[in-house]
């Protein structure tokens, strides 16, 4: 584990945990929240990238607690939550961002790809959330803001199903449904739940897709689309969790301006 420098433990500082923090939306969200003075735990498998991120932010007098973990392992997920509580005393914000997108025709798709997407995009998100909910409730009840925030990063693929992404669609539709059901359960306790649903984003996610499928996508529906930056999604998440405690944004769909699907 590679913790950042000793953070400012002022009770009013927002305490957040972000998964998938070694790249893309997760990394941008860590940067954005840390720039606002939050105490941020960055969770991902790639330890070197987390260490680099912690070093980068330390140079700006911002702090990140780097927590290398594979959250598809329930024990490691629980350990990440426990470490945050041990270090900072509470958890105000959980951003479930980690995910993988493996596309292609369903009839020829490897079952291992299904398992990877179901395990990370949905099961791990649920397990980590279940572990975090008691702490989010406590933060809402006793923390300085009177609310806590759970942000699940879904996708436009959780609203619109398209051929070639059947299992990915299933996981992201699941994230949307899970988020809405949990919103209803947790709202009376002051825990705000938001599902942020990006369209095309400039991250490494597309590099996980089979090369032939990726080339077909880039030559087809995605040909004239300029993806939004990961920083745009991070700014959206930052806005959601810093909203006045009396209001809640429950769902945000954010696409590139020229994305028609």
The residue ranges of every structural domain in the chain are 2-254
Going from the C-alpha of 96 to that of each of 58, 99, 151, 237, the distances in angstroms are 24, 9, 6, 11
Q: Is the pLDDT of residue 9 over 50?
A: no
Instruction: Give SS3 for 80.
Output: helix
Average pLDDT, the chain: 91
Give the whole-angstrom CA distance, residue 198 versus residue 25: 10
Rounded to the nearest 5°, which phi and psi values hold at 259? Answer: -85, 115
Instruction: Please give the CATH topology (third level) of the domain spanning 2-254.
Output: Rossmann fold (3.40.50)
| Cα separation, 57 vs 82, whole angstroms | 23
pLDDT of residue 5: 43
Tokens in use for 187? Answer: 């709202």
Per-residue pLDDT reduced to its tens digit, 107-135: 999 999 999 999 999 999 999 999 999 99
Cα gap 161→173, rounded to integer Å: 9
Q: What is the pLDDT of residues 235-248, one digit of tens each?
A: 999 999 999 999 99
Per-residue pLDDT band at 257 (split at 50, 70, 90): confident
- Confidence (pLDDT) at 8: 43
86 contacts 20 by C-beta, under 8 angstroms: no
List strand residue ranges (DSSP E) for 115-210, in order.
148-153, 191-198, 201-202
Task: Find how far residue 51's CA is from the centre of its chain.
Answer: 19
C-alpha count within 13 angstroms, C-beta hemisphere, residue 1: 17
Of 31, 93, 129, 168, the catalytic one is: 168
| Res 7: pLDDT | 43
Share of the chain above pLDDT 90, in %: 79
Whether 168 is a known active-site residue: answer yes
Q: Name the token pair of 246.
A: 């009396």
Render pLDDT for 157-166 as a digit per residue (tens, 0 to 9): 999 999 999 9
CA separation, residue 222 to residues 1, 199, 218, 256, 257 (Å):
39, 11, 5, 11, 12
């Amino acid at each position: 584990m590679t913790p950042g420098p000793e953070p400012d433990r002022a009770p009013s500082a927002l305490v957040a945990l972000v998964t998938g923090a070694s790249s893309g939306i997760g990394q941008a969200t860590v940067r954005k929240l840390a720039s606002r003075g939050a105490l941020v735990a960055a969770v991902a498998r790639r330890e070197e990238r987390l260490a680099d991120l912690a070093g980068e932010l330390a140079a700006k007098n911002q702090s990140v607690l780097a927590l290398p973990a594979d959250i598809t392992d329930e024990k490691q997920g629980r350990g990440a939550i426990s470490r945050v509580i041990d270090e900072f005393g509470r958890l105000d914000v959980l951003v479930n961002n980690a995910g993988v997108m493996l596309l292609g025709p369903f009839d020829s798709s490897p079952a291992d790809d299904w398992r990877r997407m179901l395990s990370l995009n949905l099961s791990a998100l649920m397990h980590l959330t279940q572990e975090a909910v008691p702490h989010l409730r406590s933060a809402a009840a006793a923390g300085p803001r009177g609310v806590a925030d759970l942000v699940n990063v879904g996708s436009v693929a959780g609203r619109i199903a398209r051929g070639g992404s059947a299992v990915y669609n299933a996981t992201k539709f699941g994230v949307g449904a899970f988020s809405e059901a949990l919103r209803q359960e947790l709202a009376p306790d002051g825990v705000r739940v938001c599902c942020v649903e990006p369209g095309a984003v400039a991250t490494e996610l597309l590099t996980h897709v089979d090369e032939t499928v990726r080339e077909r996508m880039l030559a087809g529906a995605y040909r004239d689309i300029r993806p939004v930056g990961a920083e745009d999604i991070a700014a959206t998440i930052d806005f959601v969790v810093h909203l006045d405690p009396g209001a809640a944004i429950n769902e945000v769909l954010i696409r590139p301006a020229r994305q028609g699907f």
